[in-house]
């Protein structure tokens, strides 16, 4: 990679890959999901945690940050602040240096301290196990609540992050414009007991093969069913010709 005059690294422009404009038929969608289930049988979050409280904090820290980075950060954080009570008694400025490498550290430090305070003051020191209460905590939106409900409380919840949004579109499982529309479309395809796991199938597939700039369709186990495989091939051919 060459350096530009400004000293920044120049990244080769990847072709923009449009999403399919129509959903695939239900039967085909079910076959796609069955292949992903077989391909990613270990459907668990990569975040390390020992309690719903630790999971909640880890998920808040993971916004715009990798799970690997969060896992390098949380052992130190939980050694110093092992309970909601200890974290609730801290000042955000005490937490900032510990979470700095996760990005947006001032906002994240404030959110996890304020979430801990709400857990202690309103919920008796326990992370609530219902969506409305979770989403009322600082720094917790629908996606974070879904991850906590699915992983910590085994609820049938399907969290839509950037990988899930992209992979669901590329597979033609949805044409939804919002995470909530994508969630509703994918959940309709799944039996209740598989809803929580399906989130991991799509995330793992997005990280491993169905990558954001250029998906690795030739290696993909679902490429004969995926409506994006031909779109990707066409875009790459056009890119080579240009």
Catalytic residues, which ones? 143, 161
Burial label, 2 (beta-carbon count in 10 A; 0-12, 13-18, 19+): exposed
Distance CA 43, CA 196 (A): 9
Question: Do residues 67 and 61 lie in contact, with contact meaning Cβ atoms separated by under 8 Å?
Answer: no
Between 142 and 239, name the residue whose CB sits nearer to ligand SF4: 239
Structure tokens at 4: 């530009």
Between 61 and 171, name the residue whose CB sits nearer to ligand SF4: 171
Q: Does 210 interact with ligand SF4 (rule: CB under 6 A)?
A: yes
Query: x/- site string to ligand SF4, residues 144 to 183, per CB under 6 A?
Result: --------------------------xx------------
Q: Does 134 interact with ligand SF4 (rule: CB under 6 A)?
A: no
Which residues are CB-neighbours of 106 under 8 A, at least 6 positions away?
A: 92, 96
Counting Cα atoms < 13 Å in the Cβ hemisphere of 78 gives: 18
- Could you say which of 52, 84, 196, 215 contacts ligand SF4 (CB under 6 A)? 215
Q: How many residues contact ligand SF4, by CB under 6 A?
A: 14
- Looking at 84-92, 115-123, 177-185, 218-226, which segment touches ligand SF4 (CB under 6 A)? 218-226
Q: Does 55 interact with ligand SF4 (rule: CB under 6 A)?
A: no
Distance CA 204, CA 197 (A): 11
Interface residue list for ligand SF4 (CB under 6 A) = 170-171, 209-210, 215-217, 220, 222-223, 226, 228-229, 232
């Amino acid at each position: 990679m060459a350096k530009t005059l400004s000293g920044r690294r120049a990244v080769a422009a990847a072709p923009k890959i449009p999403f399919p404009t129509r959903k695939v038929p239900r039967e085909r969608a079910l076959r796609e999901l069955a292949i992903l289930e077989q391909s990613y049988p270990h459907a668990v979050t990569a975040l390390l945690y020992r309690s719903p409280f630790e999971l909640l904090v880890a998920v808040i820290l993971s916004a715009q940050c990798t799970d690997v980075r969060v896992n390098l950060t949380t052992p130190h954080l939980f050694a110093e602040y092992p309970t909601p009570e200890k974290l609730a008694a801290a000042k955000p400025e005490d937490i900032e240096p510990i979470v700095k490498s996760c990005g947006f550290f001032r906002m994240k430090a404030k959110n996890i301290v304020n979430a801990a305070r709400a857990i202690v003051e309103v919920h008796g020191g326990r992370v609530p196990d219902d969506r409305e209460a979770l989403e009322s905590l600082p720094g917790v939106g629908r996606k974070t609540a879904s991850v906590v409900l699915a992983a910590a409380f085994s609820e049938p919840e399907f969290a839509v992050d950037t990988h899930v949004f992209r992979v669901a579109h590329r597979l033609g499982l949805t044409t939804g414009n919002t995470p909530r529309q994508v969630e509703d479309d994918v959940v309709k395809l799944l039996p209740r007991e598989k809803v929580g796991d399906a989130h991991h199938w799509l995330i793992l597939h997005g990280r491993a093969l169905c990558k954001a700039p250029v998906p690795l369709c030739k290696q993909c186990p679902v490429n004969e069913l995926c409506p994006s495989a031909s779109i990707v091939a066409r875009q790459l051919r056009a890119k080579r010709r240009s």
